[in-house]
Copies of this chain bind each other. A is one copy, B any other.
Amino acid sequence: MPPKRNRDSKEDSVKVKNDTNTKIKSKTTSNKRSKSNHHEEHKDHEEPNAKRVKRVAKPLLNKIDTDLNEINFDCSKLNAIGNKYNLKISSWNVSGIRAVIKKNGMEYILKEDADIVALQETKCDKNKLPEEVKLKGYHYYFFESKKRGYSGVALYTKEKPINIKYGLDNAEFDNEGRLITAEYPNFYLLNAYVPNAGQKLVTLPKRLKWNEVFKDYVKGLDKKKPVIICGDLNVAHQEIDLKNPKTNTKNAGFTKEEREGMTDFLDAGFVDTFRALYPDKADAYTFWSYFANARSKNIGWRLDYFLISKRIKDNVCDNIIRNAIYGSDHCPIVLYINI
């Protein structure tokens, strides 16, 4: 996708965006795929026979809709090499895309205007996707779980990737709509929804299996091109990454095994961009339980990450947690990078 865009001024950005749209439009003609449990959709081909989702006048969760105009969606920071970002990636565990749509969550996505948008826990069969998922200017790819209403990831991208891969060639995990890999000219983008270890850690073994399979898969890609992983990794890595580390050591997302899994992964040559930028920043969370009004008290967890190949770590301009965005129990995260 980059380096075709110049983001040194807002005006340019808008102009380039229009160019991009036009370009994408002219490029997207046929080659629709319709295999087992993944789905590629396009504004140029096919109207899904999806029902229209009824709008309800309900605030985004426990807050009246945040005024999106008060948020700065741009980033003026330069990376370690001195460059402004030319690629913006947004990642959001929506916990049900249809619910988020009803809560006007797509408005956030449009306002963010990222080049790549990665959604997790879409929880929606492709034939039930409402009209609202069709965002103008994006190619979009949905990978659903065989188990309806469970898991599922989606990828929106302004530039059409060289290739899209659903899953990681593992029968168990690929039934659950947990990973989309998009290949671009000079990097891989991975949108991941990592298995939850479950109540009383009943699925911790499955989770640890994922850690192994996923690490092997990513290491393979990383040999070819740098990798950008984003998504809900379902682990708070260090004590700083959740409000109550002491009382959660036996709970899903903060067990020794899950934390070691993350350490192990990073040791294989990857960087947690947020923590690299803000090593001591506490109270920076991306998830809050719906229980007990945790979000209003900021009793949260940092479960959503950008992990990138070490060799592109100096390309990062910033990594923002959009904690003013409601509509899910996770908030979006945004990576600004020049690549």
Contacts and interface: CB of A to CB of B under 8 A. Distances in A.
Interface of A: 56-58
Contacts of A57: 57
Chain A interface helix/strand/loop/mixed? loop
A142 to B, nearest CB: 29
A56 B58 CA distance: 8
A57 B57 CA distance: 7
A57 B58 CA distance: 8
A292 to B, nearest CB: 14
3 contacts: A56-B56, A56-B58, A57-B57
A53 to B, nearest CB: 15
A58 to B, nearest CB: 7
A255 B147 CA distance: 38
Contacts of A56: 56, 58
A65 to B, nearest CB: 15
Nearest to A58: B56
A43 B58 CA distance: 33
A322 to B, nearest CB: 26
Nearest to A56: B58
A235 to B, nearest CB: 32
Contacts of A58: 56
